[in-house]
């Protein structure tokens, strides 16, 4: 769930699916999956700026995290 204001205040927006432990959100600072990208694990973030974002999230999508021999790989299941 995303909130428009800091500290979980203001109107909120719910995602269609729960984020599973092996998934992360790829969030963008612009709409249509454009701009800077950030990987966000499941958790509570009271302020987008603490995540390194500006004052908003423009778009987001779920991606899978694959752990192999101590390495982390992120796979976007979206077809281009």
> In terms of residue numbers, what domain contains 62?
2-75
Q: What is the pLDDT of residue 73?
A: 63
- Output the average pLDDT for the chain: 78
* DSSP per-residue string spanning 13-78: E--SSPPPTTEEEEEEEETTTEEEEEEE-SS--S-GGGGT--S---EEEEEEEEEETTEEEEE---
Q: Is residue 80 part of a domain?
A: no
CATH number at residue 61: 2.60.20.10
What are the pLDDT digits (tens) for 26-50? 888 888 999 988 888 877 777 777 7
What are the pLDDT digits (tens) for 9-21? 888 888 777 777 7
pTM of the model: 0.65
Which tops the pLDDT comparison, 56 or 37?
37
Q: Is residue 16 part of a domain?
A: yes
Q: How many domains does the chain have?
A: 1
């Amino acid at each position: 769930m995303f909130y428009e204001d800091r500290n979980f205040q203001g109107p909120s927006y719910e995602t269609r699916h729960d984020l599973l432990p092996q998934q992360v959100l790829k969030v963008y600072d612009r709409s249509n999956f454009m701009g800077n990208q950030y990987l966000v694990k499941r958790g509570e973030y009271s302020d987008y700026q603490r995540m390194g974002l500006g004052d908003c999230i423009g778009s987001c999508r779920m991606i899978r995290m694959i752990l192999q021999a101590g390495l982390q790989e992120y796979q976007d299941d979206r077809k281009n």
